[in-house]
A and B are shown apart, each in its own frame.
Chain A
Amino acid sequence: MTARLSADGLTLFRGERLLFQGLSFALNPGELLLLEGQNGSGKTSLMRAIAGLIEFEDGDVMWDGRPVRLNRPSFYGSLVWMQHRVGFKADLTLVENLRFESHLRAQSDEDFDQVLDRLSISRLKRLPIRSLSAGQQRRVALARMLLSKVPLWLMDEPFTNLDRQGRQLVMDVTTEHLDRGGMCIMAAHQDVDIGGNVTKIVLQ
């Protein structure tokens, strides 16, 4: 049986530098793919390339057995991602930003207010994103993931700027997502304590 998300023989250059060569992985429902490596080792580039924003020199990422680059809408309908730049409009409020997400991807049945409560950001609802701290903005980005109805989560350094409780929250919601049959690709240099099916890729 082919994996839902798989890759074979990936090679990626950034400028003149070879980041990795012949990288392969497979990801099935309930599994976590953990990307590890030092700063500058290409974790973010790999993740952006998986999301189709930069092109691999060689090799293909396959979603349901078909190359992603030939099948973008179906793949993009299945993923949501959290990256270093959170992708919110600084001048719009938290609610306005999250409501806009419904125009970009399918929304889950999770209750909006409950999600905000759980992430302890409901009292920030009417504030513009500009006035939130970096950690609070991360929590809003986490809310975006919880409110999306997609199986694949891409998380680039999800623990950055978060306090201890926030880091635990990230691990909890990710574990729940995996338990529901979701998939997750996470780049992190901290220790990640997520049970279950974890595959590690260490970038040199």
Chain B
Amino acid sequence: MTNEDSSVGLMSGVLGVARRDLLLAWKRPGDILNPLFFFAMVAALFPLAVGPSPEQLQFSGPAVMWVAALLAMLLSLNSLFLSDFEDGSLDQMLTSPVPLSALALGKTLAHWLTSGLPLVVVAPVVAVTFQMPFFVTGYLMLTLLLGTISLSLLGSVGAALTVGLHRGTALLSLLILPLAMPILIFGARTVSLVAAGDGAAGGLYFLAAYAVLTLSFAPFATAAALRISNE
């Protein structure tokens, strides 16, 4: 009888977990639609409250949409590891020869595909209510694309740290928000600058660098946090 773990690979672990979580999301679409609905509602109600002045709407549009996107991401994070923790699959993943960071990355990938990407896709629709010019909407989508990647990765660390706690949502927000501030500031500001006729390169470079930074540390931090939380 052999005993070494040669036949399970790193990539197979990442994609296997991602595939399973996407399948679960497909069977329970409510989990995806809730944060998306929240994003659309906040962003669509705001113009009604502010009034129809195009200057005001164009001025506040990027900021409001970015705040709504950030909160929608936070809303979806709480459940990231919760069901795995409750049904025992987390224990199974913790005792797999596949590195836990790879499995955590797979979960984060699925989370981004089901929470981050949909926000990017519906953003142009919502942007219409702010009378956002076409090319500004393009930049809004680009900043959201880069920003939500970082938010998913940062969020996975927070979700892993709070998974064993009852009602960890508030704590999760407190943990994540300070690290998410640069994303919000650069994301919203870059879109505003584009709208005012300035260049966007600086902001986009920052968001991309932040995404690479979180991608390189978050999976390992998430894995370490999961081991602690599951004690």
A70 CB → nearest B CB, Å: 15
A64 CB → nearest B CB, Å: 9
Interface pair B87/A73, CB less than 8 Å apart: no
Interface pair A150/B3, CB less than 8 Å apart: yes
Question: What are 8 A-B contacts with C-beta separation under 8 Å?
Answer: A74-B5, A83-B88, A87-B91, A92-B23, A106-B2, A106-B7, A106-B8, A107-B7
A31 CB → nearest B CB, Å: 14
Chain B residues with CB under 8 Å of A74's CB are: 4-5, 97
Interface pair A96/B98, CB less than 8 Å apart: no
Chain B 1-18 interface residues, beta-carbon cutoff 8 Å to A: 1-8, 12-13, 15-17
**B177, CB-defined interface residue at 8 Å:** no
**A18, CB-defined interface residue at 8 Å:** no
Chain B 54-90 interface residues, beta-carbon cutoff 8 Å to A: 83, 86-89
**A37, CB-defined interface residue at 8 Å:** no
Q: Which residue of A lies closest to B21 (CB)?
A: A89
Chain A CB count within 10 A is highest, among B16, B86, B99, for B16
Interface pair B23/A96, CB less than 8 Å apart: yes
Chain A residues with CB under 8 Å of B198's CB are: none
Chain A residues with CB under 8 Å of B97's CB are: 73-74, 76-77, 105-106
A53-B95, A76-B95, A105-B8 known; A87 vs B88 contact (CB < 8 Å) = yes
Chain A residues with CB under 8 Å of B20's CB are: 89, 92, 96, 100, 103
Q: Which residue of B lies closest to A81 (CB)?
A: B95
Interface pair B95/A51, CB less than 8 Å apart: yes
Chain A residues with CB under 8 Å of B86's CB are: 85
**B94, CB-defined interface residue at 8 Å:** yes
Number of A-B contacts (CB under 8 A): 107
| Interface residue range, chain A | 35 or more
**10 further interface pairs, Cβ-Cβ under 8 Å (given A53-B230, A86-B87, A105-B8):** A52-B95, A53-B94, A76-B96, A77-B4, A81-B95, A85-B87, A92-B20, A96-B23, A103-B16, A106-B97
Option from A73, A96, A100 in Cβ contact (under 8 Å) with B99? A73
Q: Which residues of A contact B (CB under 8 A)?
A: 29, 48, 51-55, 73-74, 76-79, 81, 83-92, 96, 100, 102-107, 149-151, 180-182
In Å, the complex CA distance between A85 and B230 comes to 14
In Å, the complex CA distance between A52 and B1 comes to 23
**B24, CB-defined interface residue at 8 Å:** yes
In Å, the complex CA distance between A119 and B6 comes to 28
Option from A73, A100, A181 in Cβ contact (under 8 Å) with B16? A100
Interface pair B1/A180, CB less than 8 Å apart: yes
A21 CB → nearest B CB, Å: 20
Interface pair B6/A106, CB less than 8 Å apart: yes
In Å, the complex CA distance between A92 and B20 comes to 9
Interface pair B87/A77, CB less than 8 Å apart: no
Option from B1, B12, B95 in Cβ contact (under 8 Å) with A182? B1
Interface pair B91/A91, CB less than 8 Å apart: no
Q: Which residue of A lies closest to B92 (CB)?
A: A87
B219 CB → nearest A CB, Å: 16
In Å, the complex CA distance between A109 and B16 comes to 20
Interface pair B92/A104, CB less than 8 Å apart: yes
Chain A residues with CB under 8 Å of B5's CB are: 73-74, 76-78, 105-106
Chain B 165-210 interface residues, beta-carbon cutoff 8 Å to A: none
Interface pair A103/B98, CB less than 8 Å apart: yes
